C-alpha cells in the first residue's frame, strides 16, 4: 500500500495506524492467553480455566472485526462482510461453554 506524503503526515492516519497495531497486539495476547489457559485447564482438570481460555477465542474474533473496520479498504462489501463476521462471532459464542456462572439457564 503506497500513500502520498500528505496522507502519511495526517495525524488521523498516525492514530489509525496506532489503533491497528494495538488491535493486532490484543489479538496476539488473546491467542496466547487462550492457548495457555486452555492447556493449563486440561492439565489441571479445571473447567473454569478452559472456559476462560474459550472466552479469549471469542475476543480474538471480536478484535478481528475491529481490525477489519479500521483498515482503510473496509468500505468494499461492508454489509456482507460485517454480517458474515457477526454470524461467526454468534456461532462461536453458541459453541463455546457458558462461563458466566449463571446456573438458572
- The tens digit of pLDDT for each residue in 9-27 reads 777 788 888 888 989 999 9
Give the whole-angstrom CA distance, residue 62 versus residue 80.
16
Q: Is residue 49 one of the residues assigned to a domain? A: yes
User: Furthest-apart CA pair in the chain: how many Å?
Assistant: 58
Q: What are the CA-CA distances from residue 95 to residues 18, 24, 90 (Å)?
A: 33, 24, 9
Radius of gyration in angstroms for the set of CA atoms belonging to the chain, rounded to a whole number:
18
Give the whole-angstrom CA distance, residue 55 versus residue 98.
9
In this prediction, residue 105 carries a pLDDT of 44
Q: Is residue 9 one of the residues assigned to a domain? A: no
In this prediction, residue 48 carries a pLDDT of 93
In this prediction, residue 65 carries a pLDDT of 84
Q: Is residue 78 one of the residues assigned to a domain? A: yes
- Indicate the number of domains in the chain: 1
Domain limits for position 32: 15-95
Which parts of the chain have pLDDT scores under 50? Answer: 1, 104-105
Cell numbers placing 16: 489509525
In this prediction, residue 29 carries a pLDDT of 95
User: 100 φ, ψ to 5°?
Assistant: -75, -15
Q: Is residue 5 one of the residues assigned to a domain? A: no
Q: Is residue 20 one of the residues assigned to a domain? A: yes
In this prediction, residue 67 carries a pLDDT of 86
Amino acid at each position: 500500500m503506497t500513500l502520498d506524503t500528505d496522507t502519511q503526515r495526517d495525524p488521523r492516519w498516525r492514530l489509525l495506524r496506532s489503533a491497528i497495531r494495538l488491535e493486532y497486539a490484543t489479538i496476539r495476547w488473546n491467542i496466547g492467553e487462550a492457548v495457555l489457559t486452555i492447556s493449563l485447564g486440561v492439565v489441571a482438570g479445571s473447567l473454569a480455566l478452559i472456559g476462560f481460555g474459550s472466552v479469549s477465542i471469542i475476543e480474538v474474533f471480536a478484535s478481528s472485526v475491529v481490525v477489519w473496520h479500521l483498515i482503510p479498504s473496509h468500505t468494499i462489501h461492508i454489509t456482507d462482510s460485517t454480517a458474515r463476521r457477526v454470524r461467526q462471532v454468534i456461532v462461536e459464542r453458541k459453541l463455546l461453554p457458558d462461563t458466566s456462572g449463571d446456573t438458572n439457564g
